[in-house]
Structure 1
Amino acid sequence: MTDSIRIDKWLWAARFFKTRTLATNAVELGRVLQNEQRVKPAHSIKSGDVLEIHHADQIWVIEVLRISDVRGAASVAQTMYQETAASAEHRAKSAQDKKYFKEPSAALSGRPTKRDRRLLDFSRS
């Protein structure tokens, strides 16, 4: 077992992204920070590094515990990192907010039609 690995490969193995290509794109777009700095997909990570992952309306702040380049079971992947307490609390609060408040425009895709606009205006009244 190695002591460092490419960040995109680790994100895929830890099951934050379905494919390695998605992990690579996220790192390239700056949605993954290592120790509060942007990195390239080929950048190496090691145990003890802190990653901030912005993925699908969620922000994970985790500490890397184990290095593995093999994508295994989800239960094994969860032992590869530990989420910070502040991050877990923030994600729980966001989930609670989403449960009780739904953004009216979230269901719309693209530009609203005349009917959509009327429904939006009606819901605000």
Structure 2
Amino acid sequence: MSKQKTEQDDDDDKIRIDKWLWAARFFKTRSLSKQAIDGGKIHCDGQRIKPSKEVTVGLVLTIRQDLDEKIVVVKALSAQRRGAPEAALLYEETEESKTLREKRTAERKAGLGSYIISHQRPSKKDRRHIHRFQRINLLGDDN
């Protein structure tokens, strides 16, 4: 009976990476975390991994979500999804990752501030300018 208990205790220490990412609240569902792993968005020590990889404390993960990339160190294991404050205790983001991510966010915000996004159709005058621009660039015609 004691042998079965130690096997169960060992099973508690073995958690799949897709389940840990879900429990740490990086992804809303396990299937989304599995898709991210299969898509190459999660790396372990610079290498692509499989969803069945076992997570251990001290493992360094690179997680790419949208335009952001986080480098985190696994601090604790959990197979249950809990609240965000408890999930944040499962990992620690490296300082260089934080600064780089904040720098990229600031650059994106600064770049988007200069663009005016319009959801209107071009006017007749705008279309003439577009057609003239295309004609000049494609044909070399200046008329």
1:24 aligned to which of 16, 20, 34: 34
Specify which structure has the higher proportion of helix: 2
1:94 aligns with 2:104: yes
Deviation at 1:19, TM superposition (A): 0.8
Which has the bigger relative contact order, CA under 8 A and spacing at least 6?
Answer: 1
1:51 aligns with 2:61: yes
The within-5 A match list for 1:1-125 is: 2-102=12-112, 118=130
CA RMSD of aligned residues (A): 2.5
Distance in 1 separating the partners of 2:32 and 2:113: 27
Deviation at 1:3, TM superposition (A): 2.1
Range with bigger deviation, 66-75 or 35-44: 35-44
Q: Which amino acid aligns with 1:50?
A: V
Q: Secondary structure at the match of 2:112?
A: coil
Deviation at 1:104, TM superposition (A): 8.5
TM-score where L is the length of structure 2? 0.71
Segments ≥4 residues shifted beyond 6 Å: none
Aligned residues: 112
Distance in 2 separating the partners of 1:41 and 1:91: 25
Distance in 2 separating the partners of 1:39 and 1:32: 7
Q: Which amino acid aligns with 1:6?
A: R
Specify which structure has the higher proportion of strand: 1
TM-score where L is the length of structure 1? 0.80
Deviations 1:24-77 (A, max 9, x none): 000011110012111110111110000000111110000000000100000000
Q: Which amino acid aligns with 1:3?
A: D
